[in-house]
Amino acid sequence: MSTPTNYHMSLSYFILNNFELNSHFYTCPDNWTMSEEERAKRPYLGLYFMTSGSFFVILYLLCLASMLNRERIHIPAFKIMICLAIFDIPSECINSVATGYMGFYGIYYCDYPRLTFILGAIVFGAWVGCSASSITLALCRISEINQKLNLHWIFHSSFIYLLLFFSFVVASYGMFFTKPPIFRPEYMTWFFDAGIGFDPSYYYNVSQVINNISLTVITLSLYTYLVSSLIRKGNNIESAQFTKTQRQVILQAAIICFFHSIGSLVCVYMQLFYSPKWLIVAAHVCWQCCTGCASVIYLTLNQTIRSSVRKMICPARFQNDNRVSNASDGMLRTNASEVIS
């Protein structure tokens, strides 16, 4: 099989190997053309996704810069959150910014087949890696809340790096060895069916079905356990600070479970069954929130990240004098309030 030398030993080169293997089903019709009047342009949705996506990416980059602080990078929860950010940020760039641009101009797969294939492969791999990292982070939270489960050692030893490595392994599998989603401007989202006339059943991605259903079941189970444990523990502790932390974690759990569960299940349903356009757009917004809203959660529910970002972007005279001390940062290793993501 011939390979394009321009992509030798690069990410796109390996993705294009997959492209070449599946080239028969991703080949556009000869002399494919489409007039401006025939294109399904979505200017309003395009502007929304470009604007909101850019906003989420900027916030996420600020949060990531805060997490890379030398005093925090050794904390298990922050290690996992950094790994999650590595998947979330490029995913948000594609499922929001690139999606908005392509929808605004009505860009089809056959306009830029290889570029669209590469973007689809990256965004699906990032989603699979994000799923594994989210489950790992939920386990880390539970280990901090209930140390009787004897999971604490996993995240305070070198074993945590094996879990993070696993996230990159499954992300690589999703990126290089499965069929990628392809952007469809008429639906303003990414479908596995490229929409170029071949049998749609060929494009079914079993890995996506397994990943999304597993993510929904495991996430709901873990966060249900986390919330119930917090409620039981909060009833036994007369502490205003713990009550505040309890409310924050429960709120965060509800947000995460809602977007992950609804977005994952609807995306599976869309691949297998007919779906109205409003449901497709709603599912894409849920997907955007799954990857982008983490930055908003960090800035609203995590005092350490919020204080650090404020120091980076606000002049000194506007900063709150009530700054997080080194002692407070040390307490992050055992305090449940700082495993909030």
Can you give the pLDDT at residue 146? 77
In the three-class reduction of DSSP (H, G, I as helix; E, B as strand; rest coil), residue 288 is classed as helix
Give the Cα separation of 337 and 330 in Å (integer): 12
pLDDT recorded at residue 240 = 56
The parts of the chain modelled with pLDDT lower than 70 are 1-16, 18-24, 234-254, 256-258, 315-341
pLDDT of residue 235: 62
Cβ density class 166-192: b for 16+ within 10 Å, e for less:
ebbebbeebbeebbbbbbbbbbbbbbb
Task: For each of the domains in the chain, give its residue range(s) and CATH number, in order of start.
Answer: 48-195+206-235+247-316 (1.20.1070.10)
Which pTM value belongs to this model? 0.83
Give the pLDDT confidence of 311-330 residue by residue, as tens digits. 888 766 656 544 433 333 33
Q: Which of 279, 260, 259, 278 is nearest to 269 (CA)?
A: 279
CA angle 69/75/77 to nearest 5° reads 105
Per-residue pLDDT tens digits for 30-41: 778 888 888 889
Residue 22 is predicted with a pLDDT of 67
Going from the C-alpha of 301 to that of each of 57, 128, 196, 304, the distances in angstroms are 18, 25, 45, 9
- The two tokens of residue 73 are 């990078």
